[in-house]
Amino acid sequence: MESRHILVDAVDTHYLHAGDPDAPVVVLLHGGAPGEAAETAWSRNIEALAGQHRVIAPDWLGFGRSAKVVDFGDRMGRMIRHLARLLEELQIGSADLVGLSMGGSALIRALVDGTLAARRAVLVSAGGPPISREAMARLAAYDGSAESMREQIRLACADPAWAHDEAYVARRMELAALPGAHEAFASLGLRGLTSPPPAPEPGYARIQVPVLLVAGALDRLKPRGFAEQAAGRIRDARLEVFDGCGHCPQLEDAHRFNHTVLAFLEENP
């Protein structure tokens, strides 16, 4: 796995790269919690997926090691357009796209409006009703301390061991403390300045590619039944619910997640 930087329309953009450059491309899109980035969201998945694919895992604008750029007119739209330009710069025409939480919401929008050319899509803890106001308030309460980061991780992971993994906590804190990271994350709470998520109807009906939804049965951030609701609105969508997992099944049950995603990609050529 390589850490790379590239200028996309003069904006510094960071991404992780792994696998055979000539293999089919899988793009991994991380979520939007403090300290979340490609390296913290997909650390247990990139190597497994790279065995058969070229893996690209970018840091969204405003997150990780990418530039802390925020567009208050259309935040998510700017992020998606920037991602599309990144893929153009990397000469990637079509790819399989995997989106976690906020990354999944962005992927839904891109599939609906055709911004990204996707062969297949995997939505992880995404779709259906949004994260509740209470959960958003708890996410926004991050104060930079180790205990506060552990609380963030407790919200996302059902297994309490993740909140006591000192290396994982430290990595999240390091990324959350990068210059501009706090301001970029805090700006998510400025309601009314960012675009709303795509409406469940009729938007989902316009998704034409095979879709796999993955959810944790013990997700504390999303409303109960959100994944079933989303799967019912996407034509021929497949749903996998992981027992014992919270909002981040790709970390908590990485072996099953990697196997499930690889099987889905193989079964839907």
The count of domains in the chain is 1
Q: Across residues 145-160, what is the average pLDDT?
A: 96
Report the pLDDT value the prediction gives residue 201, as an integer from 0 to 100: 53
Residue 135's pLDDT is 85
Cβ(213)–Cβ(237) below 8 Å: yes
pLDDT of residue 6 exceeding 70, the answer is yes
pLDDT score recorded for residue 131: 84
Residue 168 near residue 198, CB atoms below 8 Å: no
Confidence of residue 191 (pLDDT cuts 50, 70, 90): very low
Quick count: other Cβ atoms within 10 Å of Cβ 256?
A: 16
DSSP H helical ranges for 12-157 = 38-41, 46-50, 75-89, 102-113, 133-140, 146-156
Which residue range forms the structural domain that includes residue 163? 2-267
Min mean pLDDT across 5-9, 81-85, 202-206 is at: 202-206
Query: Is 90 exceeded by the pLDDT of residue 188?
Result: no
pLDDT of residue 193: 40
CA 141 vs CA 34, 147, 187, 191, 193: distances in Å: 10, 11, 13, 16, 20
**pLDDT score at 140:** 86
The tens digit of pLDDT for each residue in 25-63 reads 999 999 999 999 999 999 999 999 999 999 999 999 999
- The DSSP letter of residue 93 is -
CATH number, residue 223:
3.40.50.1820
Structure confidence at residue 189 as a pLDDT band (50, 70, 90): low
Mean per-residue pLDDT for 6-25? 96
